[in-house]
Structure 1
Amino acid sequence: MIRLSTSWMYQQSLTTMLNQQGELSATQNQVSSGQRINLASDDPAGATQVVSLNHILASTAQYSSNIDAANARLSTESNTLSSFNSLLDQARSMAVQGINGTLSSSDRQDMATQLTQIRAQLVQLANTTDASGDALFAGTSTTSTPFALNSDGSVSYVGNSDNQMTTIGSGLRIPNSDEGAGLFMNIPAGNGSFVASAAAGNTGSLLVGATSVTDASAWKAATAAGPVNYQISFDAAGNWTATDANNGNAVVASGSYQDGGSIGFNGMTIALSGTPAAGDTVSVNSGQTQDVFATLTNMINALNDGSVGDTQLNNTMSRQIESIDRAQDQLSSTQTDVGGRLNRLTQQQSTYSGLTLTYQTTLSGVQDTDMASAISQLMLQSTALQASQQTFAKVQGMSLFDYLK
């Protein structure tokens, strides 16, 4: 016969009720929090999965935030470049006006004033900042004003040549803007391959028109040793001779020019019009660059210089039109690239939206409480606890004297 001591009975009853209270409390916590796993001990394997999923969701959220920031910067850049391009259109129209018509002194002054205003607007646009006050075109430099307009009309760039990058995925980075040196400063001069300029001291009416590379292989051979530096000289009969300043002024080509014709050698062609005087020259140089602000400054200086005749002004304006065209080519190429980057950001953001939904669904399945099951469990546990408490209350009140008559 087994004898049960009163202390053992009390201890067993207490242990049972404490366990039931613990289970009830855990179930109540699941119902109130809506989460099945509140402590790692609730489900060690599930808790590990929850940590992993939360880490993935946090990374995805950060990448999405980065995409939003990059999207804002690139959209601002695209709008800025459009405005920049519109101002260059205005400057180009005035240059064409200067070539096609005879300008009075007051016309020149008015045009110079307008171009000065356009140049100031271009500098302002080049110093555009994003919503955080960071310059769009300073590269990775922390300066807020990468472009400075100097007293002589020149513009200095104090940013750097590194594009800011945004991380939009594991091992995936994308430029969120474009540095200003390559965009506005280091623009190929002339037609992009070379620039042909009539000398300022020419006394004839020779005008340099369109220029182009018409034989790529011959031009490649001519520039194999480096940029070319030719000088084309005319005599009184219109004959021309091209010499190479890089090779002891050796003669490289010669011929006869007729008004409205062109001359060509070493793979290039230069359209000319007007009549050259004896001793007039045209220089041909490759490998040169000209910033977009200098283009407007050259136009402004020529218009403000009362000693510049119509022929020289026309030649100056023609060369600056070429430079504006090259600058607009650079802007167009960059805008196309920006559009491509914006599309990539949109696609990546769409991918993250789908992944986030998938991860959240998975996380919910692992972590969230099944309310119907948990509430049923809560009711059963509550009933069981009440029964234990009532039973203990009756048992602990029992005494041997209750059975003595």
Structure 2
Amino acid sequence: MSASLYTNFTASIASQDSLINTLEEEISTGYAVQTPEQNPAAFEVATIASDQISGLDNDSATQNSITTQLDSVTSTYSAVSTLYNNVQSIIEQSLNGATSPKELQTLSTQISSAAQQLLGLANTTAPDGNYLFGGTRTNLTPFQTDSAGNVVYLGDAGQSQSQVSPDTTSSSVANGEVFTSALAGDGYSTVSAGASNTGDGTLLSEGVLTPATAAAFQTGNAPITISFASSGVGNLTYTASQSGNTIATGNVPPEAATGTTIELAGQDFLLNGVPAAGDSFTISPSRPQTVFALLQNLAVTLGASAGSPSSDALTTQTINGDLSTLAQYQQALLVAQAQNGVTLQAISNAGRSDANQQTALAATVQNSIAVNQPVAITTLDETISAVEAAEKAFSAAQSLSLFKYL
């Protein structure tokens, strides 16, 4: 056997052994390209795609965390909505005209209980132990009672944003504005009866006639006072003044007990009952009132009714205003629930989009550097068979050559 034949044979076997080792590694790892040197372009494409997949994995973890947080917010909002509806029922019961002072005391106790329940809901924590409605101050109890017995908000109005997909961010925290920011009364004005009123008249907001005028009044600082006086012939007149100026006057018809309308500050106000000469009402621009202050004041009002016509009128006046403020908070809650739902839907959509992107990127990685398993296995089998056949043939040839030279 010539030296060149032997050299060629061993070189061929070494090459095929190397191919076998490579194929076995590719089959075990699933990758045909594992280093840049093997295929620079394919390796770069796969690396970029893999980095993008890692980024999407991080986004998915953020999505899950925020979804858990906002699901807790949704649940709490639902409980608050139920509580508001119960409070509304209590207020309406107190206004039915047949509720005795003792019954009003009972309703006052129920309102106080509802206020405590609401405080617990406003201080709800998420599964991770953070407070839901503290804004970015998630480790601090957001609503606390001060030394005067008033509930104060110690959180902030933070709206921290987190990335939930490559092109989408989402608010990852809620804050306490849904419990603190609603405007008192009808959102434009509040009406209070003079503390010394002796008649049984009430003045209630009936609706907005001119939104721009009503809005201008709300943003201003000048209240309107309506005073009643005797006309000298057994009838009443009213005078509405603002900043020392008379802005409206009129007669109160004898049938005022059945309701008469007075237009002021772009709104209609319904006068029910009959005021006494010297009685007054003050229409003030609406200002934010926390829902806790609302319930606290409502409980005091219900518990203080003395049962006289004038006392009942004062109670009715205040409670009707509280009912309007509660409506503002019910509306604010509906808006917050809708916003929370929109955010959750956006996160869900981002999750589906990210999943589709991950599938496409995984296919890119697969197409760039992954081994074709069926082809690799077939090639491996064929190479092993070829090596075994070559070794047998070489062994046979080597035997023949030795026999020849013996």
TM-score class, shorter: 0.7 to 0.9
Instruction: State whether residues 179 and 290 of structure 2, in contact with CA within 8 Å, keep that contact through their aligned partners in structure 1.
Output: yes
Q: Which of 207, 228, 241 is the matching residue for 1:234?
A: 228
| Distance across 1 between alignment mates of 2:203 and 2:89 | 19
Deviations 1:291-339 (CA, angstroms, capped at 9, x unpaired): 1111110111112336583222111211110110000010111112222
| Distance across 2 between alignment mates of 1:277 and 1:188 | 30
Deviations 1:208-234 (CA, angstroms, capped at 9, x unpaired): 22343212344456567x233121111
Deviations 1:139-189 (CA, angstroms, capped at 9, x unpaired): 111235211234644211111011232312224212244311x21101111
- Structure 1 unaligned segments of length 5 or more: list them: none
Partner of 1:265: 264
Partner of 2:99: 103
Partner of 2:188: 193
Q: Decide which moves more: 58-67 or 289-298.
A: 58-67
Partner of 2:151: 155
| Distance across 2 between alignment mates of 1:262 and 1:212 | 11
1:52 deviates by 1.3
Distance 1:103 1:149, change over 3 A: farther
| Distance across 2 between alignment mates of 1:136 and 1:269 | 40
Instruction: State whether residues 207 and 311 of structure 1, in contact with CA within 8 Å, keep that contact through their aligned partners in structure 2.
Output: yes
Equivalenced residue count is 394
Partner of 1:285: 284
Instruction: State whether residues 199 and 275 of structure 2, in contact with CA within 8 Å, keep that contact through their aligned partners in structure 1.
Output: yes
Q: Which of 86, 89, 92 is the matching residue for 1:90?
A: 86
2:47 maps to 1:51: yes
| Distance across 2 between alignment mates of 1:223 and 1:368 | 68
Tell me, what secondary structure is at the counterpart of 2:336? Answer: helix
1:110 deviates by 1.6
Distance 1:220 1:290, change over 3 A: closer
Partner of 1:243: 241
Partner of 1:356: 358
Q: Which of 38, 49, 70 is the matching residue for 1:42?
A: 38
Partner of 1:76: 72
Could you state the TM-score of these two structures normalised by the residue count of structure 1?
A: 0.87
| Distance across 2 between alignment mates of 1:218 and 1:402 | 121
Tell me, what secondary structure is at the counterpart of 2:246? Answer: strand
| Distance across 2 between alignment mates of 1:238 and 1:165 | 60
Q: Which amino acid aligns with 1:83?
A: A
1:54 deviates by 1.1
Partner of 2:205: 210
1:19 deviates by 3.5
1:391 deviates by 7.1
2:378 maps to 1:376: yes
| Distance across 2 between alignment mates of 1:152 and 1:165 | 36
Q: Which amino acid aligns with 1:362?
A: T
| Distance across 2 between alignment mates of 1:39 and 1:66 | 32
Tell me, what secondary structure is at the counterpart of 2:282? Answer: strand
| Distance across 1 between alignment mates of 2:38 and 2:396 | 34
Instruction: State whether residues 228 and 284 of structure 1, in contact with CA within 8 Å, keep that contact through their aligned partners in structure 2.
Output: no
Partner of 1:310: 312
1:64 deviates by 2.5
Q: Which amino acid aligns with 1:271?
A: L
Q: Which amino acid aligns with 2:141?
A: T
| Distance across 2 between alignment mates of 1:313 and 1:397 | 121
- Structure 2 unaligned segments of length 5 or more: list them: none
Partner of 1:31: 27
Q: Decide which moves more: 386-395 or 197-206.
A: 386-395
Distance 1:146 1:53, change over 3 A: same
Report sequence identity in percent: 24
| Distance across 2 between alignment mates of 1:69 and 1:257 | 62
Q: Decide which moves more: 390-399 or 311-320.
A: 390-399
Instruction: State whether residues 77 and 177 of structure 1, in contact with CA within 8 Å, keep that contact through their aligned partners in structure 2.
Output: no
Q: Which of 126, 136, 141 is the matching residue for 2:122?
A: 126
Tell me, what secondary structure is at the counterpart of 1:42? Answer: coil
Deviations 1:78-100 (CA, angstroms, capped at 9, x unpaired): 22112101111111111111121
Tell me, what secondary structure is at the counterpart of 1:76? Answer: helix
Tell me, what secondary structure is at the counterpart of 1:191? Answer: coil
